[in-house]
A and B are shown apart, each in its own frame.
Chain A
Amino acid sequence: MGNQILIVDDDVDLLETFKDSLTLRGYDVITAFDGQEAIKQYNENEPCITFMDIKMPVMDGYEAFSKIKNNDANAKVVFVTGHETMEKSFEALQHGLKGVLHKPVQPKIMVDMIKENNC
C-alpha cells in the first residue's frame, strides 16, 4: 500500500481545490471524477486513503465503495458529501467505511483523518 491520497468528486473546481490543499500540506494526491475512474485509480495506485463524493455520474460513491472493498478488504474510504447522511452511509460504515465528512469540509479535518489512518 502506497502513501498516496485519492480524491474523487465530479465537481472539478472542488476536486482541484482539495488537491491543492493536500498537496500544500505535503501529500501525494491523485484524483478521479466519477466512481468508475476511482476504481481504476485505486487498483492502479492502491492509495492509502480515499476521500469520495457520493452523488456522481456514471457510478455513484456507494457502488464504487463496495467494489473497492471487494477488491481490497483493507481499503480506507471516507465519504465526502453535500447531502445529509443516509441509510446507505450507515450500511457502508458497518462494512468498513472510515467515516462521512459533510461539505463544506475543513481541510484540517481531512488532514486529521489522514493522520488517524497512518498515511
Chain B
Amino acid sequence: MKISVKLILGLISIFAIISTAQYYQTNLSFQINQVSEYHDKMSTPALMILEQISTNSEMMHRTIHGYALHHEHSIEDYESTKQNVLNLINQYDELTYVQDSFGNNLAGHMMQKSMQDYVKQMLDLINEYDVISMSLFQDINDDSSIDIEKNFDLLDEKINLFRDILANDKLMELKGKTAQQNKINNFLEESNNLIFISNIIVIFLIVVIIVIITTSISSQISTLRKVTSEIAHGSYDVSFQSRSDEFQPLRDDIKKMSSDIKESKTLETDLRKKLIKKERFSAIGELSARIAHDIRNPLNVLKTSLDNIREANYDPEYIKKSTLRCNIAINRIAHQIDEVMDFLKDSPLTLEPVSFLELITTLKNDLDIPSGIKLKIPTNDVNILGDKMKLESLLYNLITNATQKLETTGNIIIDTSYDSDNMVKITVKDDGEDIPKDVLKKIFEPLYTTKQQGTGLGLASCKKIVEQHNGTISASNNPVTFTIIVPSAN
C-alpha cells in the first residue's frame, strides 16, 4: 500500500474520531439546552403555579371559615379566590401543552397524561368543594348549625384531598426535574468518558500512523540500501519484491541501472580480455624484436671477432683483444636474458621483516661503484615487510641506473623514513642531470629505454617489485629522485 494512502487513511480515522466526539459534544449541549428549556418553561412555572394553587386554595378555605365563623369575608371573596384557583389550574393545564424551541411537547406523553389527570382531579374536587360551599352558605342562611358542622367537616375533607393531590403533583414535578438533572449528569459523564477515550484513541492512532509510515519508509530504504550496496560490491543480479508504493519507480530504476551496469561490465570484461590478449601478443612481439636486436649486436661482435683472429693469422695480440671483446659480448647477452627473465618471472613474495640498513650495507659491498661516485646511506634503520631478494634487486637496479648516468663523478644519496599509515618511504637521489620530461612520463614502461644496451626492463621490474609489495614508486626531477613507499614491518 502506498505511504500516502496509509497517511490519508490514518488522517481519515483521526478525523472520524474527532468528528464523533464533536457530534457527542453538540448533542450534549443540545440536551443541556433542552433540559434548561424544560426547567424554564416547565418545571419552574409548574412548581410556581402549584405553589400558588396551594396558597389560593388555602385562602379560599380560610375565606369560607372567616365568613361562616367570624363574618369577616363575603361570598364574593370566596368566589374570587375560587376563581383564582380555577384560573391557576387552567394555567397549569396549559403547561401540559408547552412546547420547546423545536416545537416538541416539553412534557412527555406519560407526564402530560399525569398532569391532565391531576388537573381533572383538582377541577373535580374544586367543583365538589363548591357544591358543599353552596349548601354551607344555604345552611348559614337557614342557621341550621348541625348541617354547618357537617358541611365544614366535608369541606375540610375535600381540602385535605386537594392538598394531597397538590403534594403528589408537586412531587411528580420535582421528580421530573430531578430526572432531567440526572439525565444531564449522565450525559456529562458519558461525554467526558467519550472525550477521554477518543483522545486516547487519537493519540494511539497518531502513534500507530507514525510507526507504520516510519517503518515502511525505513524498511524500504534499508532494502534499497542493501541492494545498492550489493550493486556497489559487484553483484548485479538484483531482485525486488514488487509492491505498489512510492518506491516502486525507484526499484524499477535501480533494477534497470543494475542490469545496464551488468551488461556494460560484461562487455567491458570481454573487451578487456580481448585487449589484454592483443596487448600481450604485441608485447611479446615487441619484446622478441628487442631481444633479437639486443642480441644481434653482441653476436655480430662474436662473429667478427672470431673472423678477426683468423684474418690476423692468430696473432696473439688479436687473440687477446678479440677474446676480451667476445667475453664482453657474451656477458651482454647473458645480462639481456637475465633482465628479461627477471621481468617475466612472476615468483611469489617471501614476506619477512627486512632491516634496510643491513640490506643496503650488504648491497654496497657487492656493488662495483666507480671511486668518483659517493654513495651515502642513512644512519637510522627502518624495518620493511618485504621480500629481501626482490628488495635487493630493486635497490641494485636504482643504484646501478644512477651510477651509469653519473658515469665517473657525483653523489647518490639514499634516505629512509617512516611514512604515515605504517609505510616506509625510501628515496634514491643523485646530483646528475635531470631526466627529460618525455622520458619521465614513460620511465617505468616496459621496453622503454634510452640506453643503447638497455632492455627497457630494469625500471619496469622495479615497478613490478614495488607493486607486488602493495607499494608505489615514482620519479621526479630537481634533484633526480626515485621515491619508493612500501609497508613497514612495525
A complexed with B: yes
Please report A residues at the B interface, Cβ cutoff 8 Å. Answer: 10-11, 13-14, 16-18, 20-21, 24-25, 55, 57, 82-84, 102-107
A16 nearest CB neighbor, chain B only: B325
Q: What is the total number of residues of chain B having a CB less than 8 Å from a CB of chain A?
A: 28
Which residues of B sit under 8 angstroms from A57, Cβ to Cβ?
450, 452
> In angstroms, how far is the closest chain A Cβ from the Cβ of B265?
40
B297 at the interface (CB under 8 A from A): yes
Count how many pairs of residues, one from A and one from B, have CB atoms less than 8 Å apart in the complex: 71
> In angstroms, how far is the closest chain A Cβ from the Cβ of B320?
12
How distant is the Cα of A107 from the Cα of B322 in the complex, in angstroms?
Answer: 15
Which residues of B sit under 8 angstroms from A11, Cβ to Cβ?
297, 301, 452-453
How distant is the Cα of A104 from the Cα of B297 in the complex, in angstroms?
Answer: 7
Which residues of B sit under 8 angstroms from A25, Cβ to Cβ?
311
Decide if A17 touches B305 in the complex (CB within 8 Å): yes
Which residues of A sit under 8 angstroms from B304, Cβ to Cβ?
14, 17-18, 20-21, 104-105, 107
Contact of B297 among A16, A21, A82 (CB under 8 A): A82
How distant is the Cα of A83 from the Cα of B293 in the complex, in angstroms?
Answer: 6
Contact of B292 among A17, A82, A106 (CB under 8 A): A82
Please report B residues at the A interface, Cβ cutoff 8 Å. Answer: 289, 292-294, 296-305, 307-308, 311-312, 318, 321-322, 325, 328-329, 332, 450, 452-453
Which residues of A sit under 8 angstroms from B332, Cβ to Cβ?
13
How distant is the Cα of A13 from the Cα of B305 in the complex, in angstroms?
Answer: 10
How distant is the Cα of A100 from the Cα of B296 in the complex, in angstroms?
Answer: 15
How distant is the Cα of A20 from the Cα of B326 in the complex, in angstroms?
Answer: 14
Contact of B299 among A10, A18, A20, A104 (CB under 8 A): A104
How distant is the Cα of A24 from the Cα of B328 in the complex, in angstroms?
Answer: 21
Interface of B, secondary structure class, is helix
8 A–B contacts, CB within 8 A, in A order: A11-B297, A14-B300, A17-B305, A21-B308, A24-B318, A25-B311, A57-B450, A104-B299
How distant is the Cα of A106 from the Cα of B310 in the complex, in angstroms?
Answer: 13
The listed residue with most B CB atoms (<10 A of its CB), out of A13, A24, A55, A57, is A13
Which residues of A sit under 8 angstroms from B308, Cβ to Cβ?
17, 20-21, 24, 107
Decide if B312 touches A82 in the complex (CB within 8 Å): no
> In angstroms, how far is the closest chain B Cβ from the Cβ of A22?
10
Which residues of B sit under 8 angstroms from A18, Cβ to Cβ?
304
Decide if A13 touches B298 in the complex (CB within 8 Å): yes
Decide if A104 touches B321 in the complex (CB within 8 Å): no
A105 nearest CB neighbor, chain B only: B300
The listed residue with most A CB atoms (<10 A of its CB), out of B289, B297, B328, B332, is B297
> In angstroms, how far is the closest chain B Cβ from the Cβ of A33?
9
> In angstroms, how far is the closest chain A Cβ from the Cβ of B308?
5
How distant is the Cα of A14 from the Cα of B322 in the complex, in angstroms?
Answer: 11
How distant is the Cα of A13 from the Cα of B298 in the complex, in angstroms?
Answer: 8
Which residues of A sit under 8 angstroms from B297, Cβ to Cβ?
11, 13-14, 82, 103
